[in-house]
């Protein structure tokens, strides 16, 4: 039997394929189990390695998924290969599809007001049987916010949170305790894509695992943040040398 978790640079990744994960999540939602899903790319792993609190937040999730080819390659280098990359965006879309088939409800928190409104419109158009429990932009006063109560009252099955790294996982961690059920997932820039504001890499680039390069070419201002990927690989090789001794 394979191990259910694989530790890569102090993060416990779920050793699972996308299809297996979807089956598990579908069951969890039907059973009204509370679930925290993190889709972790090298940037998240690097951030978590510099911030202990964030690291424990990530490891408190029920499922940490390898979102990024870097994580999958890293797992192979360290000798415990993860089966595949599961892109956060794809996982969100699959959950919306399942929600549409099963009549689940979903709440959307984050991004700029016009972006989230357009994203919700598009989601409603593509998934008409999914119930929209509500939405709110991601620029609110954290301390004085009544958003958690408002979401709680609606009892959504899915709660997607796009507040950027590390805020979205922190928000989920701080608030999930007050909920009885729901699948919580940080979705980064997904509302920007769903609203049509930002384009995802064409499928060929995705298949070649070059989505990161496409993003870099389209948004060169992200180059500093994208240094996380080579730095992550350096850390992986260091870890390999260390554990060989």
What is the closest distance, in whole angstroms, from the C-beta atom of residue 32 to ligand UDP in the complex? 28
Give me the 2-41 binding string for ligand UDP, x by CB under 6 A, dash otherwise.
----------------------------------------
In Å, what is the CA distance from 41 to each residue of 29, 79, 115?
25, 19, 23
What is the closest distance, in whole angstroms, from the C-beta atom of residue 211 to ligand UDP in the complex? 13
Q: Does the protein bind ligand UDP through residue 112 (CB under 6 A)?
A: yes
Q: Does the protein bind ligand UDP through residue 173 (CB under 6 A)?
A: no
Q: Which of 74, 99, 110, 182 binds ligand UDP (CB under 6 A)?
A: 110
Pairing relation of β-strands 131-136 and 34-40? unpaired
d(CA 11, CA 59): 6
d(CA 76, CA 73): 5
Q: Which of 107, 191, 212, 232 binds ligand UDP (CB under 6 A)?
A: 191
Q: Does the protein bind ligand UDP through residue 88 (CB under 6 A)?
A: no
What is the closest distance, in whole angstroms, from the C-beta atom of residue 125 to ligand UDP in the complex? 20
Q: Does the protein bind ligand UDP through residue 237 (CB under 6 A)?
A: no
Q: Does the protein bind ligand UDP through residue 164 (CB under 6 A)?
A: yes
Residue from 67, 71, 69 nearest 18 by CA:
67
Q: Does the protein bind ligand UDP through residue 159 (CB under 6 A)?
A: no
Give me the 128-147 binding string for ligand UDP, x by CB under 6 A, dash otherwise.
----------xx--------
Residue from 7, 112, 135, 12 nearest 62 by CA:
12
DSSP code at position 83: S
Closest to ligand UDP by CB, 6 or 61:
61
Q: Does the protein bind ligand UDP through residue 165 (CB under 6 A)?
A: yes
d(CA 60, CA 209): 28
Residue from 31, 74, 65 nearest 237 by CA:
74
In Å, what is the CA distance from 38 to each residue of 10, 107, 151, 231, 239?
14, 17, 20, 21, 23
Q: Does the protein bind ligand UDP through residue 189 (CB under 6 A)?
A: yes
Question: Residues in the site for ligand UDP, rule: CB under 6 A?
Answer: 110-112, 115, 138-139, 162-165, 167, 188-189, 191-192
């Amino acid at each position: 039997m394979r191990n259910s978790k694989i530790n890569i640079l102090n993060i416990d990744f779920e050793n699972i394929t996308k299809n297996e994960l979807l089956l598990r999540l579908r069951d969890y939602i039907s059973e009204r189990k509370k679930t925290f899903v993190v889709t972790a790319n090298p940037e998240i792993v690097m951030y978590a390695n510099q911030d202990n609190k964030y690291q424990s937040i990530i490891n408190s999730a029920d499922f940490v998924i390898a979102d990024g080819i870097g994580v999958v390659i890293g797992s192979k280098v360290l000798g415990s290969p993860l089966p595949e990359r599961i892109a956060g965006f794809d996982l969100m879309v699959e959950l919306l599809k399942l929600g549409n088939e099963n009549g689940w409800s979903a709440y959307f928190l984050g991004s700029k007001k016009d972006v989230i409104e357009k994203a919700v419109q598009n989601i409603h158009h593509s998934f008409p049987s999914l119930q929209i429990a509500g939405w709110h932009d991601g620029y609110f006063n954290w301390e004085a916010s009544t958003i958690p109560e408002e979401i709680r009252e609606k009892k959504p099955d899915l709660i997607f949170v796009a507040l950027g790294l590390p805020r979205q996982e922190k928000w989920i961690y701080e608030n999930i305790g007050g909920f009885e059920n729901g699948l919580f997932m940080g979705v980064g820039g997904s509302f920007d894509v769903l609203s049509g504001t930002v384009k995802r890499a064409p499928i060929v680039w995705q298949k070649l695992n070059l989505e990161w390069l496409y993003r870099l070419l389209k948004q060169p201002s992200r180059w500093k943040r994208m240094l996380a990927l080579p730095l992550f690989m350096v850390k992986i090789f260091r870890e390999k040398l260390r554990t060989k001794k």
